[in-house]
Chain A
Amino acid sequence: MFNLKYKDDLYKIILSVFVLSVISVFLIAVTVILFYSYPAIIRYGFPFLWVKEWNPPKEVFGALTFLAGTFMVTFLALLFAIPFSFGIGIFLQEYCPLFLRGIFTVIIEMLAGIPSVVFGVWGVLTIVPWLRESVEPFFDRHFSSIPFLKVEENIGYGILAASIVVAFMILPIISSITKDSLASVPKIAKDGALAMGATKLDVIKDVSLPYALNGIYGGIILGFGRAVGETIAVVLLIGNQAIVPKSLFSVGYTISAVLANTFTFAVISPIYASAEVELALILLAVSLIINIVGRNILNKVIGGRFNRSQFGGG
């Protein structure tokens, strides 16, 4: 193997070192998170997931409030983002005139390039005042009897503000994957339907969407992964109070936000830090599972080619 007649052996060894370094970066990440969360896992066990109290001085830690906040923000963001991403993907791939498609795609990709913190600032200075001055008073007047739409504090910050901004952040991922999946539909199938007198809507509904549906599911799953881990914009917008949100307009806390806000204080006490790292472990596990499933689907549909909207700033 070390026969230097083939100089490639040396080259291969050097490259292998690089590959092993990349693998070790991944292993280091997983090991660090597992190692430092171990004390909390041992001490609190499974009830960590459904205990509501998070009280560092008493060393009582339960993640329920943060899990609920994360779930609500993610769910609402997907609810807002999916219909629009669908529309954008269909528009760009099927309806848009060809000479405009390039520039319109660039605009959506620009949305993916905007950093999370800039989205957060935009949310604080635009979305929050809008919610506070127009949306919340309106809902307060007309829908205050519906529990899920009750406005508790008219401050603008809260679950809704965070999920609107996160929805815009995951929009480019889902819509670009929708577009790529629609682009992978064989042209002959679409042309056949068009020749039979179908309108473009019929073609999309009966030919393209059934074919592209798996890819779109993959996109939604990846969007879910991004929304779960979204940190900075959420910290700025969600209100940061450890309560289980009961309404669309109430404030809350997500896993990523509590990590961003308190991890640097937490490292003073080992068990507190360990509980926080266990929160990170939840994020890590969710993101790994989501990505394994999502990528597997996407590799089958659009051949695993990378779309640049998938690397946004975090």
Chain B
Amino acid sequence: MAELANIKKDDDSMPIFPINRGYIKRKKFYNGIAVFFAVMAFIIGAFPVFHIIYKAVALGHKYLNWRFISTLPTGFPIGAQGGILNAIIGDVYLIVIASIFAIPLGIGSGLYLSLFGKKRTNTFLRLLNELMIGIPSVVWGIVGFYVFSTNAGLGFHFGFSALAGGLTLGFIMTPIIALLTEQAVNQIPAGYIEGALAMGATKWQATKSVIMKAALGGIFTGILLGIMNIIGQTAPLLFTNYYNTGLPTGITGPGGAVGDLAMLIFIYIHEPSRILHIKAEAASVVLLFFIFAVDLGLRLINYLTRKFL
């Protein structure tokens, strides 16, 4: 712009359009204002990330030690002394049960979509998965209650238990894994799979030796995203598992309920007790730590897949 503006207007060696310096200045000024607002929007949007972590650590740092993670809650109101071991054990139960349900289903249906699906079934099934992701978690909770927990009428009659809660979380996890598996398989260059098929491999052999290797990163991304999602779920557990201050004695029926970090935070913040609020913040730090650790693993897998495949 500067070079153009330096050419004199009455220089008749070349035809030149008139340049309105004020206009250009104004344009640049408006652009500067837009930059300012965009940066402000970003700062305000990023603010809670840091403030949530800061606030949780500032309030809960006193309890961030090994004892807090390794002891059961005791005292009155329950949790005033002791730690959150029940919730951590319970989360392991729930994640394992949900994964046992969701991983085969998700990967299986994702593979079907990319290997055998016709165009119309694919569109339909993808929409179905997307709809399932969009269903609010509290609705899944009600579905889980009537399918697994209720002790009247139809259903599995598991009671408020780890199995009921875990399977409900599995419902939430399945579509995420299915969508990301399909996406990962579709990203494999078509030549890899076609090459294997042309050599006489069956689709199963192609899956075993080509697809599973090339799409492993994407499939793991799906699994980790699913785990990351269900770790923070509270609403579905309200109606299917609720909470247990001790350790579970089974996975169904009475004594089958488990603790859960998100649920523990929810219950503690409801109590009119300062010490429980602080413990809720300390538990939030632990929960956020888990989530960001899973997140980091996810990014690492993405990075390695991009680098080595």
- A229, B176: Cα distance in complex, Å: 18
For chain B, residues 200 to 222, give those with C-beta under 8 angstroms from any C-beta of chain A. Answer: 202-204, 207
With A125-B55, A288-B131, A314-B137 already in contact, 5 other A-B pairs whose C-beta atoms are closer than 8 Å: A28-B143, A111-B49, A113-B295, A117-B262, A284-B136
Q: Determine whether A86 belongs to the interface, using a CB cutoff of 8 Å to chain B.
A: yes
Contact digits for A291-313, partner B, Cβ 8 Å, 1 yes 0 no: 11001000000001110101111
- Cβ contact within 8 Å between A228 and B136: yes
Contact residues of A: prevailing secondary structure: helix
**A32 — which chain B residues lie within 8 A by C-beta?**
142-143, 146-147
Closest A residue by C-beta to B225: A311
* Count of chain A residues near B, Cβ 8 A: 97
**A225 — which chain B residues lie within 8 A by C-beta?**
134
- Cβ contact within 8 Å between B133 and A310: yes
Q: Determine whether A19 belongs to the interface, using a CB cutoff of 8 Å to chain B.
A: yes
A-binding residues in B (CB < 8 A): 1, 24, 27-28, 30-31, 34-35, 37-42, 44-46, 48-49, 51-52, 55-56, 59, 104-109, 111-113, 115-116, 125-143, 145-147, 150, 171-172, 174-176, 178-180, 183, 202-204, 207, 225, 228-236, 238-239, 242, 262, 265-266, 269-270, 277, 280-281, 284, 287-288, 291-292, 295, 299
- Given the known A-B contacts A125-B277, A263-B239, are A88 and B41 also in contact in the complex, defined by CB atoms under 8 Å? yes
- Cβ contact within 8 Å between A113 and B292: yes
For chain A, residues 74 to 130, give those with C-beta under 8 angstroms from any C-beta of chain B. Answer: 83-88, 90-92, 94-96, 104, 106-111, 113-122, 124-126
22 example contacts (A-B, Cβ-Cβ < 8 A) are as follows A10-B204, A19-B125, A87-B41, A115-B232, A115-B234, A115-B287, A117-B232, A118-B232, A121-B56, A121-B277, A122-B52, A202-B31, A229-B137, A231-B138, A231-B235, A280-B142, A284-B136, A284-B139, A291-B131, A306-B183, A311-B225, A313-B230
Contact residues of B: prevailing secondary structure: helix
- Cβ contact within 8 Å between B140 and A29: yes
- Cβ contact within 8 Å between A168 and B48: yes
- A310, B277: Cα distance in complex, Å: 30
Closest B residue by C-beta to A120: B269
Closest B residue by C-beta to A311: B229
- A83, B42: Cα distance in complex, Å: 11
Q: Determine whether A40 belongs to the interface, using a CB cutoff of 8 Å to chain B.
A: no
- Cβ contact within 8 Å between B145 and A263: yes
B11 CB to closest chain A CB, in angstroms?
19
A225 CB to closest chain B CB, in angstroms?
5
**A21 — which chain B residues lie within 8 A by C-beta?**
105, 109
- Cβ contact within 8 Å between B115 and A15: yes
Q: Determine whether A11 belongs to the interface, using a CB cutoff of 8 Å to chain B.
A: yes
**B34 — which chain A residues lie within 8 A by C-beta?**
90, 95, 200-201, 204
